[in-house]
Amino acid sequence: MLAGASAGAADPSEKPWKVYAMKRVQIRDEPGMPFVYVIGYSAFRTAQALKDWVALIPEGDTLQWDPSGDIPVLGDPLGAPEAAEDFKKFCEVRRIKLVVVPRP
């Protein structure tokens, strides 16, 4: 089962969504206060878990990524520039439109 998914949750391919909103959040009450990515009601601790879920999004749909700032954060699954670029290419190959929300 994917991280953050409940036993009865449907996979994203069954949802009528066309735009998926993804943001980075910090788990403040856990040792080390790790960062995870959240899409809907699902949270992902690793880039691979995030990719596994995003791979289920139908081609042509949009993933809006709010990176919550431009400063790299220790423990951020996509914090390294290489990891972020790899994720962008992953979405491109899957024909998922990735829109990065600009930060002020």
Q: What is the pLDDT of residues 34-89, one digit of tens each?
A: 888 899 999 998 889 999 999 999 999 999 988 765 555 666 777 777 888 899 99
Distances (CA, A) of 40 to 7, 11, 71: 15, 11, 24
**Non-local CB neighbours of 18 within 8 Å, separated by 6+ positions:** 61, 62
**Inside any domain, residue 29:** yes
Establish if 10 belongs to a structural domain: no
Whether the predicted pLDDT of 6 surpasses 60: no
Residue numbers of the domain that contains 58: 17-100
Integer angstrom CA distances of residue 22 from 31, 54, 58 = 23, 10, 16
Does any domain span residue 36?
yes
What does pTM read for this prediction?
A: 0.72
Q: Is the pLDDT of residue 31 over 80?
A: yes
Query: Is residue 6 included in any domain, yes or no?
Result: no
Average pLDDT value for residue range 9-24: 70
Domain count, the chain: 1
pLDDT of residue 50: 93
Q: Is residue 50 part of a domain?
A: yes
